[in-house]
Structure 1
């Protein structure tokens, strides 16, 4: 993988002792600050916890093939937006390296991987699955909102290879009115990951398009607290 660069990011700090972290990745064309603002608009406040720092990195601008090579803040390139398309592994590997540096910063801050969750919206959810399942399977969980993996994604083989070993639990949320057949692709992604050996929970939201909603955020918040409870002792104690 390429040498890691320091990604721009914003964060919502914990109000008490920092014992856990969530890394929340934006969708294509957005930024970390944009995603944080969107979440705040939905909840009427930040997604905030007494013990969990929520980090919103921003993908660097890169030429994006579906936009005819125009620069966009995307986590990786795509040959085209299709489940049947091969993955653009070079750009995915590069970003896994850069995002792994964010994970390691939290480790250096005293948060072990089993006290971390990685997730995202749309392309951010797919990126989170690559990062968590292939490089950091020790994390407590991964979430993918309105997301899908390509049909022959290398993530499926990575999960299959770790069957019976440490794997994060996956939370998926998707609106049934999502554009094209994205909801169907999301369901198929969850089914294939479950078949490969991953624990998956999938939540559908009637009439929701390619966006997030309050009910989804409430489920996500409860799931985060279940996976990262505040009464867990600091690492090493």
Structure 2
């Protein structure tokens, strides 16, 4: 039985959209958290891009004393190797895959869809995109890391090996240390994915220079 589509905050262009960006938030946030970023990107009005900011399901989070909050997966410990709960990651990846497929069914082809994610959302993006069965326009992985990187070699789908993957991280990030993001980048490149890496003088957030770079990158992959 197919689960209902994730609820989303939706930002639609004035004309019929021919591209879509699906942007996944971080732990304890919601789709409303990143929705205000759209005007900050200052994309040309001629680009008919729909932005979807889905809400993660609510679930107990172990490191927060079992408190229920919006989370793409449980975090049982802050240990580098076991921070992300694989079962939860795979469950959320399936939900996001449904959302992508719904956009394809609506008439936006996969190669006009960008999958973006910040922190926990980036973990889902980096898990789903390399395994997805259709070529995407691009992947944006911000201040994030990879769940079970050792699995990628056997599970990767070649179809997105040339898809641009922009990976970015704050040098002073105390939530997801920069070495975790760089390790994910190295795993992507070792598995021959088309990933780039850049850092910014910031903590676990986004900054104006990063937004400018994201805007330029989106214009490149969706031109």
Q: TM-score, normalised by structure 2?
A: 0.89
Residues 46, 99 of structure 1: alpha-carbon distance in 2 compared, 3 angstrom cutoff = farther
Q: Secondary structure at the match of 1:133?
A: helix
Is the Cα–Cα contact under 8 Å of residues 4 and 97 in structure 1 kept in the other structure?
no
Map 1:139-158 onto structure 2 (within 5 A). Answer: 139-150=136-147, 152-158=149-155
Rounded to whole Å, the distance in 2 between the matches of 1:143 and 1:157 is: 22
Q: Which residue of 2 aligns with 1:34?
A: 33
Q: Give 1:116 shift.
A: 0.5
CA-atom RMSD, angstroms? 2.3
Moved more, 175-184 or 81-90: 81-90
Name stretches of at least 5 consecutive residues in structure 2 with no aligned partner.
none
Identify the match of residue 174 of structure 2 among 166, 175, 179: 179
- The answer on 1:82 being equivalent to 2:76 is no
Rounded to whole Å, the distance in 1 between the matches of 2:44 and 2:94 is: 27
Q: Give 1:6 shift.
A: 2.4
Identify the match of residue 218 of structure 2 among 212, 217, 224: 224
Q: Which residue of 2 aligns with 1:202?
A: 197
In the alignment of these two chains, the number of paired residues is: 221
Rounded to whole Å, the distance in 1 between the matches of 2:83 and 2:64 is: 17
Name stretches of at least 5 consecutive residues in structure 1 with no aligned partner.
230-237
Is the Cα–Cα contact under 8 Å of residues 121 and 144 in structure 1 kept in the other structure?
yes
- The answer on 1:116 being equivalent to 2:119 is no
Q: Which residue of 1 aligns with 2:126?
A: 129
Map 1:155-170 onto structure 2 (within 5 A). Answer: 155-159=152-156, 162=158, 165-167=159-161, 168-170=163-165
Q: Give 1:70 shift.
A: 1.1
